[in-house]
Homo-oligomer: A and B are copies of this chain.
């Protein structure tokens, strides 16, 4: 084929082949306009086709201000929750004729700023951050610089956000365990820089108080979302003089880690210890012992976040109610 294939055909090439001016070609090929079926229009499209023309995204977005793409910042992609959330966001973007760009931060505030810079340098129209920290003013800076953004999954109470009602989720989890007769419930918490972790803890604490459960500070452990964190935290709980009969973990991964620790100690789930996770990732229902979990609708969060950006409207703070999904890791205290 011609070299156009190599370095990519330009609008000029297409225009020449179709025998029209560059601007006509540009107009015909404009994805926003509906396809006309005039003769010239067809010639241009044919030319574009045979040359394998691809609009230069850089040049295009340089000219018109705005790229129709939104930047997404996540702590990591190796975490199923974040992977799923990002996919949902990308999917929703597509529906709005937007594209998505990701950057990861490893939950490091510095890398968070770096990610913002990098995405902004790619001229994204707006940002979705899933990395908001209560101890870091990144969102405030974005507000100060008037950079359109939405917080997802984790909020800061100020910037527009789409989250699940983590407080309610935490409450439901402990409530479920209490309904099964458990009075001594371990809480495996996430990092307190994440509003989601804080909310889940607050909710479970409320349940403990309201229901008059065993309120022992030693039952509150952990500060990570990961399998490893859950594993270690559970070890602490099992080392207690009086271990809990049930555990609520801040994420499904932490719950899985907790179950690993429990298994190592020769204790059985749910016969001796009940476990509840959070997020209801697809894996949860397919574990050897299907995991009871609080379902957070990542799809709704994603849709909400993208829509707030797309509509430009002020829907401000979306909060979706979670649902307790009982499975096989929770049972009545005997």
Contacts and interface: CB of A to CB of B under 8 A. Distances in A.
Interface in A53-112: 54-59, 61-62, 65, 67, 76-80, 82-84, 86-87, 90, 99, 101-102, 104
A109 to B, nearest CB: 18
Nearest to A76: B87
Contacts of A289: 263, 288
B118 A99 contact: yes
A42 interface: no
Given A83-B80, A99-B118, A122-B58, A260 B231 contact: no
A94 to B, nearest CB: 10
A82 B102 CA distance: 14
A123 B58 contact: yes
Interface centre among A65, A83, A259 (most CB of B within 10 A): A83
A145 to B, nearest CB: 5
A86 B77 contact: yes
A56 B65 CA distance: 12
Nearest to A79: B83
Interface in A131-149: 144-146
B62 A283 contact: no
A327 B67 CA distance: 50
- For chain A, give the interface size range: 35 or more
Given A5-B145, A262-B288, A122 B257 contact: no
Number of copies of this chain in the oligomer? 2
A326 interface: no
A52 interface: yes
A181 interface: no
A117 B54 contact: yes
Interface string A268-294: 010000000000001100111110000
Interface in A145-164: 145-146
A124 to B, nearest CB: 10
A200 to B, nearest CB: 21
Interface in A228-264: 228, 231, 253, 256-257, 259-260, 262-263
A6 interface: yes
Nearest to A146: B6
Contacts of A282: 78, 227-228
9 contacts: A5-B146, A58-B62, A58-B122, A90-B104, A227-B282, A256-B288, A259-B287, A259-B288, A263-B289
Given A57-B122, A77-B84, A256-B287, 20 more contacts: A1-B144, A1-B145, A6-B146, A57-B121, A62-B62, A76-B83, A78-B80, A83-B83, A87-B104, A90-B104, A99-B118, A227-B282, A228-B282, A256-B283, A256-B288, A257-B286, A260-B288, A262-B288, A263-B289, A269-B288
